[in-house]
Amino acid sequence: MISDRRPDEVLIATDAGAGAVPIWLAPQDNWKTALAHLSPEHMAWLEANGFDGAARKHVLLPGAGGTIEGVVLGIGTPDGASRAVAAATNLGALPPVLASGTYRLGDPAACDPTMAAIAWGLGAYAFRRYKANGTRKGPVLVMPETADAKHAMAAVEGVWLGRDLINTPPNDMGPAELELAVRALAVRHDGMVEAVIGDDLLEKNFPLIHAVGRGSGRAPRLIDLTWGRADALKITLVGKGICFDTGGLDIKPASGMLLMKKDMGGAAAALALAHMIMSAGLDVRLRVLIPAAENAISGSAFRPSDVIRSRAGTTVEIGNTDAEGRLVLADALALADEEAPDHLFTFATLTGAARVALGPDLPPYFCDDEGHASVIAAAGSAVADPVWRLPLTTPYETWLDSNVADMNNVAEGGFAGAVVAAIFLKRFVKKAGTFAHFDIYGWRPAQRVLGPKGGEPQAARAVFEVVRRMVGS
C-alpha cells in the first residue's frame, strides 16, 4: 500500500475498543424513536443543531469536560431489500470529518455490520504519496463484533490497492511498474507470475499488444498471474493495462489526456478483485491477465489503416489508434479462452460512450447469459457497488465489417460505441463458460460517501460478491 495509512490502521480489532466513542445511526423517518435511549439533554442538543436524520449529516454529542460522548449520524430513509447495507454505507462519510480518536458502532444491529466496516474503510482512504505532509492521523473504527472481519478487510484492502495504482502518476506507473505491482501481490498470496515483454510478444503470438505498445520507449508486456488449486472452479480476470494513452497517431486533445493515467483502471480493478479473492481464501483457480502498454507516438507507432493479425488468427484493420484498449484485450482474451475458464470477466476503461450512457458512477456491463447477468446485478446492489446491464446481442455485428480484413477495430458513425466495443471483445471468446465485460470509468470525479475524488476500481466488489456466491462463501 502507498496510501498515507494502511486499512488495518483505520479498522482495528474488536477487542481494542475500550473507551471508544459510540456512533448512533438515525433514520430520517423516525430518528427520535431510534435515539430514545439518549439523555434529554442530548436530544435537546440535536434539536438545537437542526438534526433531522438526513443522510450523512452528523452531530457530535458533548460530554463532561469538553469531551465527545457520542456521534449521531443520519442515514436518510433507506429502503428495499438492501436497507441494512444502504444504512451502513453512510458510515463512509465520517472518516474525513471526524477528529482523531477511536469510535465504535453504538448499535451494530442498526445496519449491516460488515458493510459498515467496509464503508468506513473506503471513506478513510486518502492518497498523499506526493504531499510534503503526507502522513496524517485520523479516526479509527472498532471492527463490529458481528462483522465478517476477513471479508471486510479483503474488500477494503483490495479497493485501496486499486485506488493506489490508478492514482499513481504515469511517470511512476508504466508497464514495468504495473508488473512489479502484480508480482508483489503474487508474493503476498503465494501466487505465480509470468510476463512476456517487448519483442517476445511477437515470438509468443501477442501481436496486437505489441503493436499498441511498440511506439513507446517503455516495453509493452502480457502479465499472467495464477493462484489456487488447479482443479478448482476456473475464474479468469482480464484487465486493460494502458498505463498512459495519448490516443496514438489519432492523438487526443490536451484536455483528453489529463486523466489518461487512469487508463489502466481495468487492470487496477482486476488486481483489486484478485486481492479480495485471494485474501478471503476462496476455493477457485484464479488467473489474472494484464496486457500492459503505453499508447505513445513515435516513428514506430502503429497507424490508422494498418492490418494486424491477432493471436486468435483473425485480422484487424485499425480504424482508429485511440481504440487501442480493445486491441490489447483481444490478445489477452484469446489466451484466456484457450483454457476454457468457467467464468471470464474483463475490466476496462474502454469507451467514452459508456460515460455518455450512464455517467461516471454507474458502469455498464455486458453479458449474454441471462442467469449470470442477473446474479451480477443482484450482487452489485447487495454490496453498494452498482452496475447496469447493456445489451451484448444486438443488430450491430456488421458495423465492424472491413473491406480488407476480418474486422475493423471501430465502427463508422459513432453510434452505440460501448456496445460495439463489447461486440469486438466477445469475438475473441469462444470456449469460456460465461463472459462478462465491465466498461468502467475508473475514477470518482468528486468526493462521495464511499471515497474521495480519484481512482476507483469500479465493479471489483460487485464481482467479488459474485464469486463468493459461486463458491458458497
| Residues with active-site annotation | 252, 326
**What whole-number distance in Å separates Cα of residue 442 and Cα of residue 265?**
5
Of 260, 235, 420, the residue nearest 346 (C-alpha)? 235
Q: Which three cell numbers, joined as nine digits, stand for 455?
A: 481512482
Cell of residue 215, nine digits: 511506439
Q: Quote the CA–CA distance of 167 and 160 in Å, as a whole number.
A: 10
The enclosing H or E element of 315 equals strand 315-317
Pairwise CA distance, residues 242 & 234, whole Å: 25
Terminal-residue alpha carbon distance, the chain? 26
Q: How far is CA 13 from CA 141, 165, 470, in A?
A: 9, 27, 29
Contact 403, 380 (CB under 8 A): no
The whole-angstrom separation of Cα 371 and Cα 448 is 31
Nearest to 423 by CA among 407, 441, 403: 407
DSSP 172: G
Grid cell locating 1: 500500500
Cα 172 from Cα 243, distance rounded (Å): 10
212 exposure class (CB count in 10 Å sphere: 0-12, 13-18, 19+): buried
Q: Are 284 and 235 in contact, with CB atoms under 8 Å apart?
A: yes
181 residue type, one letter: A
Q: Residue 106 — φ and ψ, nearest 5°?
A: -70, -40
Give the three-state DSSP class for 294.
strand
Nearest to 283 by CA among 57, 467, 136, 75: 467
Q: How many helices (DSSP H) and strands (DSSP E) are in the chain?
A: 16, 20
**DSSP output for 194-251:** EEEETTHHHHTT-HHHHHHHTTSSSPPEEEEEEES-TTSEEEEEEE-EEEEE--TTSP
